[in-house]
């Protein structure tokens, strides 16, 4: 841990790896030592494991029939198709749920099923699989309901389905409760009795296993690659660890999203974001595609995104363009709502000691849009490095969404106050809740006391994980190529963070777009452009220490007007030793 002052007051945590294992990877695979070191830091020390990580293929997917309850689910769906019974796919309103719905419905369509889909409205229907949705689907003559990305704790809905004579197949990846829903099949790798080797699938990953099984049973395995790109969208957007099968899905799916061809709807979405024909990365999904898909569920109806992604008819290209433009418009509206609520929340934190003087932030407001409070909570965590819960008051009922920091179990904190809620759930890092408005002050008191008892000053200091030193002379084509092979980056495989050691300013710093700094740094006669994002207010610090800086950075590739350059994307700067 390095406590020297930095421009952003971050603590630099330097990681240590086993160089013996790294040397073995270099010898076995012929990779650059820097890449070998990074793999070892990620727990990948065996050559065969590293080879699979760097070169994933569909052959690396596990047998889907290892999932508990998957065989009876496949049997029932094939029987429904054969009999002409109507099947409903019940999804969720986030990217994971929408892509799961699109993928499974598309396969069932191809298999000749009578299939419909339903995704609940965030405001009017609430979250997850509910008895009211079962009633609605039964009224549409549905005989089989398949939930995707939801349902693992929907016991009341499962009971209602049984009462109405509907067969329910639950596919989900969230944590099960003490009692599983009484459904025909409950497919979830996190089931305690499920032997499936990969427990970290996203909801769309679990749905893909059902798709894979159906393709195998119907002799259509050649169809499977066509579903990978949709699974990649949901997997990356849901921030699951990009290891194991998730890495196979994300890596191969991004390759297909980059190459095409695409269905009418997906092509319109890519075109609307300027990504059509580009080489896509996990960043593009997380910050350009996912926000637009999510915006439909946050601001209007998730069926806009679902209808768009289901479009395959080239004759409906104009409709696809209109739906993509609607998503773009909803995303702009979401951004404005988010900015307004974030500004109000930050004012509360900075001016009200009941809010800002604690290890956990609990802030609420009236007329705050429920669709964006989770994003606002994430941005409060980024700004103040404290767990945060943001709540939207809607009359006598208030809805909340929370995000956490490493080392603080947010779900555990909510369980400590579980008697206050009408409903809550989530996991260590993100959670949601519903509470009577009259109990908000009691909630804040109990949560802040809980956090104050468990988090000390060192826990609340923002930290920067440094993988290793990388001198400018060591930035070689082999390193750049190896980093490209390590993509996609995300949870479980963070983008490598390096530091330069002592460098000097060669040019700049120059303020860009009033928010960023552009400069060039020199070391051992090599010069690289460096861009320090959102660090315009640190120009004086950089100039004052310009003869001896230490820069923490990611490596990025820039393609502009036919030229290819490698640049430093700066995360922090401090004075060199």
H-helix segments, 408-439: 410-416
Neighbouring C-beta atoms of residue 49, cutoff 10 Å: 13
Query: Among candidates 520, 519, 549, 522, which has minimal Cα distance to 535?
Result: 519
Tell me the mean pLDDT in the region 357-385.
Answer: 94
Query: Among candidates 556, 550, 551, which has minimal Cα distance to 569?
Result: 556
- Cα(349)–Cα(355) distance, integer angstroms: 5
- Cα(502)–Cα(508) distance, integer angstroms: 17
pLDDT given at position 9: 78
Domain 463-575 fold is OB fold (Dihydrolipoamide Acetyltransferase, E2P) (2.40.50)
Q: Higher model confidence: residue 300 or residue 314? A: 314
Q: pLDDT over 90 for what percent of the chain? A: 87
**What letter does residue 153 receive in the DSSP assignment?**
T
| pLDDT over 80 at 124, yes or no | no
Tell me the mean pLDDT in the region 309-331.
Answer: 95
Report the largest interatomic distance among the alpha carbons of the chain, rounded to a whole angstrom: 77
| pLDDT over 50 at 432, yes or no | yes
- Cα(257)–Cα(276) distance, integer angstroms: 9
Q: Mind listing the pLDDT tens digit for each residue in 56-82?
A: 999 999 999 999 999 999 999 999 999
Q: Mind listing the pLDDT tens digit for each residue in 192-208?
A: 999 999 999 999 999 99
SS3 assignment for 10-40: CEEEECCCCHHHHHHHHHHHCCCHHHHHHHH
Q: For residue 261, is the peptide bond before it cis, meaning its omega torsion is within 30 degrees of 0?
A: yes
Share in percent of the chain as helix, strand, coil (round to 5):
45, 20, 30
pLDDT given at position 3: 45
- Cα(388)–Cα(345) distance, integer angstroms: 10
**Minimum mean pLDDT range among 295-299, 346-350, 465-469, 501-505:** 295-299
β-pair partners for 388:
361, 403
Residues 497 and 554: beta-carbon distance below 8 Å: yes
Tell me the mean pLDDT in the region 259-286.
Answer: 95
Residues 121 and 90: beta-carbon distance below 8 Å: no
pLDDT given at position 5: 54
- Cα(118)–Cα(145) distance, integer angstroms: 10
- DSSP characters for 395-414? TTEEEEEEE--TT--HHHHH
In a 3-state reduction of DSSP, which class is residue 499? strand
468 φ/ψ angles, rounded to the nearest 5 degrees: -175, 165
In a 3-state reduction of DSSP, which class is residue 360? coil
pLDDT given at position 4: 53
- Cα(224)–Cα(258) distance, integer angstroms: 18
Tell me the two tokens of residue 135: 């009633």
| pLDDT over 80 at 123, yes or no | no
CA atoms within 13 A on the CB side of 125: 24
pLDDT given at position 7: 61
- Cα(452)–Cα(376) distance, integer angstroms: 22
Q: Would the pTM count as exceeding 0.85?
A: yes
Report which secondary-structure segment, H or E, holds 169.
strand 167-171
pLDDT given at position 30: 96
Query: Among candidates 202, 213, 167, 205, which has minimal Cα distance to 186?
Result: 167
Residues 535 and 568: beta-carbon distance below 8 Å: no
Q: Mark 138-149 as b/e (b = at least 16 C-beta within 10 Å).
A: beeebbbbbbbb
- Average pLDDT taken over every residue of the chain: 94
pLDDT given at position 51: 97
Residues 257 and 232: beta-carbon distance below 8 Å: yes
pLDDT given at position 244: 96
Tell me the two tokens of residue 64: 């889907």
Domain ranges, ordered by start, for the chain? 61-232, 352-454, 463-575
- Cα(15)–Cα(26) distance, integer angstroms: 19
Tell me the mean pLDDT in the region 75-93.
Answer: 97
378 φ/ψ angles, rounded to the nearest 5 degrees: -60, -40
Residues 88 and 137: beta-carbon distance below 8 Å: yes
| pLDDT over 80 at 562, yes or no | no
Non-local (6+) Cβ contacts of 113 within 8 A are 77, 80, 81, 87
**What letter does residue 439 receive in the DSSP assignment?**
G
In a 3-state reduction of DSSP, which class is residue 426? strand
Q: Mind listing the pLDDT tens digit for each residue in 156-176?
A: 999 999 999 999 999 999 989
Tell me the two tokens of residue 440: 């908000």
Residues 23 and 215: beta-carbon distance below 8 Å: no
Site of tokens 């609990």: 362
- Cα(28)–Cα(22) distance, integer angstroms: 10
Confidence grade of residue 571 (pLDDT, cut at 50, 70, 90): very high
Confidence grade of residue 301 (pLDDT, cut at 50, 70, 90): confident
For 352-454, CATH number out of 2.60.120.10, 3.90.1150.10, 3.30.70.260, 3.10.310.30 equals 3.10.310.30
Q: Which CATH class is domain 61-232?
A: alpha beta
227 φ/ψ angles, rounded to the nearest 5 degrees: -100, -5
Confidence grade of residue 428 (pLDDT, cut at 50, 70, 90): confident
Q: Higher model confidence: residue 122 or residue 437? A: 437
| pLDDT over 80 at 296, yes or no | yes
- Cα(384)–Cα(10) distance, integer angstroms: 12
Find the angle CA(300)-CA(173)-CA(135) to the nearest 5 degrees: 55
β-pair partners for 14:
466
> In Å, how far from its chain's centre is CA 24?
33
Residues 545 and 551: beta-carbon distance below 8 Å: no
| pLDDT over 60 at 1, yes or no | no
Tell me the mean pLDDT in the region 409-423.
Answer: 93
Confidence grade of residue 128 (pLDDT, cut at 50, 70, 90): confident
- Cα(545)–Cα(317) distance, integer angstroms: 56
Q: Mind listing the pLDDT tens digit for each residue in 224-257?
A: 999 999 999 999 999 899 999 999 999 999 999 9
Residues 278 and 258: beta-carbon distance below 8 Å: yes
CA dihedral 394, 396, 397, 398 (to 10 degrees): 60
């Amino acid at each position: 841990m390095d406590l020297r002052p930095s421009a952003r007051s971050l603590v630099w945590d330097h990681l240590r790896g086993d160089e013996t294992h790294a040397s073995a990877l270099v010898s076995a695979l012929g990779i650059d030592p820097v890449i070998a070191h990074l793999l070892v830091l990620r727990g990948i020390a065996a050559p065969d494991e590293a080879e699979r990580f760097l070169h994933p293929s569909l052959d690396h997917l596990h047998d889907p029939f290892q999932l508990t309850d998957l065989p009876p689910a496949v049997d029932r769906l094939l029987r429904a198709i054969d009999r002409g019974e109507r099947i409903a796919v019940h999804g969720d309103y986030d990217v994971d749920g929408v892509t799961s719905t699109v993928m499974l419905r598309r396969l069932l369509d191809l298999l000749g099923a009578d299939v419909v889909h339903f995704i609940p409205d965030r405001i009017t229907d609430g979250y997850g699989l509910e008895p009211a949705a079962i009633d609605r689907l039964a009224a549409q003559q549905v005989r089989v309901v398949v939930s995707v990305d939801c349902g693992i704790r929907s016991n009341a809905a499962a009971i209602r389905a049984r009462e109405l004579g509907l067969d329910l197949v639950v596919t989900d990846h969230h944590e099960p409760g003490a009692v599983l829903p009484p459904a025909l099949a409950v497919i979830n790798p996190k089931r305690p009795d499920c032997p499936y080797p990969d427990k970290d699938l996203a909801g769309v990953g679990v749905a893909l296993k059902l798709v894979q099984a159906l393709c195998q049973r119907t002799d259509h395995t050649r169809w499977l690659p066509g579903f990978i790109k949709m699974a990649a969208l949901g997997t990356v957007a849901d921030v699951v660890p990009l290891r194991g099968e998730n890495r196979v899905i994300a890596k191969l799916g991004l390759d297909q999203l980059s190459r095409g061809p695409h269905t009418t709807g997906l092509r319109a979405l890519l075109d609307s974001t300027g990504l059509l024909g580009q080489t896509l990365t996990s960043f593009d999904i997380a910050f350009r595609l996912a926000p637009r898909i999510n915006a439909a569920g946050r601001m209007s109806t998730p069926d806009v995104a679902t209808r768009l992604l289901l479009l395959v008819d080239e004759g409906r290209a104009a409709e696809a363009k209109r739906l993509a433009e609607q998503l773009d418009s909803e995303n702009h509206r979401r951004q404005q709502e988010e900015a307004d609520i974030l500004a109000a929340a930050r004012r509360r934190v900075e001016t009200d000691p009941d809010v800002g003087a604690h290890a956990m932030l609990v802030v609420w407001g009236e007329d705050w849009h429920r669709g964006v409070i989770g994003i606002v909570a994430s941005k409060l965590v980024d700004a103040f490095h404290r767990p945060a819960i943001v709540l939207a008051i809607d009359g006598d009922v208030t809805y909340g969404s929370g995000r956490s920091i490493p080392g603080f179990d947010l779900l555990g904190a909510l369980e400590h106050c579980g008697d206050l809620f009408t409903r809550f759930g989530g996991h260590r890092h993100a959670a949601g809740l519903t509470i009577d408005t009259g109990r908000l002050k009691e909630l804040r008191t109990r949560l802040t006391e809980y956090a104050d008892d468990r988090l000390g000053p060192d826990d609340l200091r923002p930290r920067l994980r440094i993988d290793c030193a990388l001198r400018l002379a060591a930035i070689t084509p082999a390193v750049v190529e190896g980093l490209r092979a390590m993509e996609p980056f995300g949870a479980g495989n963070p983008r490598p963070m390096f530091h330069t050691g002592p460098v000097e300013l060669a040019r700049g710093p120059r303020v860009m777009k009033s928010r960023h700094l552009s400069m060039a740094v020199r070391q051992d006669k090599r010069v690289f452009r460096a861009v320090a994002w959102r660090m315009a207010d640190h120009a004086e610090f950089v100039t004052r220490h310009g003869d001896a800086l230490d820069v923490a950075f990611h490596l990025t590739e820039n393609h502009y007007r036919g030229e290819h350059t490698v640049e430093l994307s700066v995360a922090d700067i401090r004075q060199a030793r």
